[in-house]
Structure formats: structure tokens, C-alpha cells
Amino acid sequence: MTTIAIIGGGYMGRTHAAAWTEIGEGRGIRYVCSRHPVDGFGDAPNARFVTDLGVVLADPEVDIVSICTPTHTHREIAVRALLAGKHVLLEKPIALSIADARAIAAAASSTGRTLMVAHVVRFFEGYRRARTDVEAGRIGTVLSARARRLITKPDAAWWYDDARSGGVVVDVGIHDVDQMNLMLGTPVAVTSRAVDPLGPIETTIEYRSGGVGQVLTFADVPPGAPFTSSLQVVGTEGMIDYDFSADAPTASVGFSGVNTYRLATSSSSSSVTLSALDHYARQAEYFLDCVRNGTEPEFSPTASAVRALEVALAARQSLLTGETEILEERA
């Protein structure tokens, strides 16, 4: 059994523990490391609770660390873990600056350890299907894409400090920024407007191909409202429409609700209700396979995480200046 340590004792730490348990690795969680007292880790029955990261990294039997700490700590913890010879599953966003993101990537490259940034939306069945259909050319050339993500206010106090979380677009909207990049390619310009710091925030991303992506992010829907996300992709030969809405404020480990994927092309149309397989478990399983097989996580590569961060940071800057941020000139 693989030996795992979870760094961070909050909501995401518990979510990672549940995911590892779902794929049969829960008893391999040897440590939960947190600066603060933790509870709710029934999915890690053998875990030792520690406050010193050094204890975890000094244990030669620890193979994998799941890093689930506030984003401003990612560079320090991830680089230390990689240099200690651990494989790293790192919660998104990769970091709060491009310099920090590149430092993490460089540490993975120099040590030969496996690093994957946990852009879990890539593992939702509907988003996976959209990616497959676009890459297979089933809707022709993509002209535009639009995504929305609506959540209730997070509980964690640190999340409201932009110096620690990056703000709404960097922490929440980055999921959909990443999807826009997958659908449309190389981003060249970003414009973002907000009604309120918690949203609604509308971000428009222009692409080298001439396509346009739009992202709506809202982190202040009424308490008890369902977690909601959607993706629409329009191409020259068809359209994808995916709706996901959980009957709860979160959708971490199992859910009930709407999970519908529709594909319409010039020759046919279909609509399917997707299963409620746990996307966090899929993510953990994929990462574990990469570690065991010594392969790069090509389904969720570090370079894509860095690019998504670049766009999200540009969106945040656009919110501050009111101007369009240029990433690169069109070819």
C-alpha cells in the first residue's frame, strides 16, 4: 500500500482523505499535518496528527503528499516536499505568482518526482466528455465557450484575504479559465469586470485562434443554494451544453442533482444523464497511476496549471485597472 501524508487539516484536506479512501488507500494515510487542531478525518484511521512538516518529510516511507493548504504556502511546502523525494498532489491554484509556480515546476523537474496540480474539474465526467469531443473535432473548430460557477461563501477566514487566496477569480474562477484554455488554445488578452469582490465577476478571454471564452464566477450565492456549474462550447459544426448542479452547497464526494451532457452536431444530437462518480477519487486514482508507472500526468500537466494562473492573474489585474490585460500579441 502507498504511504500518504495530507498537508492541511481543513475542508480540502478532508476531501483528499475521502478520495484516497474511496480508491482503497485510506489506511495508507500515515500523517495529517496541520498547524491547527483538526477533526473529521475518519477516512484516515491510521493517521498520526502532527504540526511539524519536517516530521512528515523526514519519514522515508512517505511516498505521496497531498498539499491542501492556503495557496500562499504552496511554493514553500511543495518545493520542500519535492526536494525530500516525495510525489506531490498539489491543490489548485498552483501558486499566487508565476515565479512561485515556475519554482515548483522546476523542483519537480530537477528531482524527477511526480507533480500534479489538482485541477479537479478536468475529472468531472461532463468536462472530460467536452474535452474528448472537442479534441475529436466533433463540433468542428471552436468559436466560443462560456462557463459559470456559483458557490456559497467559503467558511475559511484566510480565503477572504487576497494575499493568501488570490481572490475569487484566482481561487474559484481558475477552474473555468482552465477549461477555456482547453477548449480554445492560447490566450492573448483578458478583460474582467465585477459587481462586487465576491461576484458576479465576468471575465472575457480572447484567444490567438480568434475564439472567445467567457467565465462567470460568483462566490456569494445565498446559503443553502446548490453548487452550480455549466459549460457551453460552440463550434463550426456543433455545440456542447453541460449542466452540473448538486443538491447541496458543495459537490465533493458523491452528490445528487443535475448532471446532464448534451451534444448537437450538424448530423445528430444526444442528451445523457451522467453518473455521480466521485471526481476527487478519479483525480487521486489517476495521480497514483502516474506515480506507480513513472509517467507524467499529461491529462493535467503543470504547464497548463501555470497558464491558467497567468490568465487568472491577468483577470485580477484587469479588475483593478479597468483595462484589458494583454498576454501576447495575436500571431
The secondary structure of 144-212 as a DSSP string is: EEEEEEE-PPPS-GGGG-HHHH--HIIIIIHHHHHHHHHHH--EEEEEEEESSTTS-EEEEEEETTS-E
Q: Are residues 157 and 253 in the same domain?
A: yes
Amino acid of residue 78: A
Confidence (pLDDT) at 254: 52
The range of the structural domain enclosing residue 82 comes to: 4-118
Residue 206, φ and ψ in degrees, nearest 5: -95, 145
Beta sheet of 238-246, edge-to-edge order? 269-273, 257-265, 238-246, 228-235, 142-150, 212-218, 201-207, 187-194, 325-326
Instruction: Specify the pLDDT at position 23.
Output: 96
Q: How many domains does the chain have?
A: 2
Nearest to 142 by CA among 208, 48, 220: 208
Looking at the structure, tell me whether residues 210 and 225 fall in a common domain. Answer: yes
pTM here is 0.94
Could you read off the pLDDT tens digit of each residue along the chain, which spans 331 residues?
Answer: 899 999 999 999 999 999 999 999 999 999 999 998 887 788 889 999 999 999 999 999 999 999 999 999 999 999 999 999 999 999 999 999 999 999 999 999 999 999 999 999 999 999 999 999 999 999 999 999 999 999 988 888 888 888 888 999 999 999 999 999 999 999 999 999 998 888 899 999 999 999 999 999 998 888 888 889 999 999 999 999 999 987 655 545 555 567 899 999 988 999 999 987 789 999 999 999 999 999 999 999 999 999 999 999 999 999 999 999 999 765 5
Q: Say if residues 3 and 25 touch (Cβ distance below 8 Å).
A: no
| Residue-level pLDDT at 275 | 80
CATH, residue 50 = 3.40.50.720
Same domain, 16 and 39: yes
Q: Is the peptide bond before 93 cis (omega within 30 degrees of 0)?
A: yes
Q: Are residues 31 and 114 in the same domain?
A: yes
Do 129 and 154 belong to one domain?
yes
Residues 148, 254, single domain; the answer is yes
289 within some domain: no
- Are 68 and 180 found together in one domain? no
Task: Tell me what pLDDT residue 252 has.
Answer: 52
Same structural domain for residues 127 and 268?
A: yes
Same domain, 102 and 146: no
Asked whether residue 42 is assigned to any structural domain, the reply reads yes
CA distance linking residue 90 with residue 69, whole number of Å: 9
Cα–Cα distance measured from residue 324 to residue 315, given in angstroms and rounded to the nearest whole number? 8
Residue that is last in its domain, among 118, 150, 170: 118
| Predicted local confidence at residue 225, as pLDDT | 83
State residue 81 phi and psi, 5-degree precision: -65, -45
Q: What is the pLDDT of residue 155?
A: 83
Show the cell assigned to 209: 485562434
Last residue of a domain, one of 60, 85, 118: 118
Backbone angle region of 17, left / alpha / beta, with phi > 0 → left and psi within -120 to 50 → alpha: alpha
Residue linked to cell 491543490? 91
Instruction: Flag whether 290 is in a domain.
Output: no
CATH code of the domain in which 160 resides: 3.30.360.10
- Cell, residue 84: 525530500
Alpha-carbon distance of 294 to 14, in angstroms, equals 27
Q: Is residue 297 part of a domain?
A: no
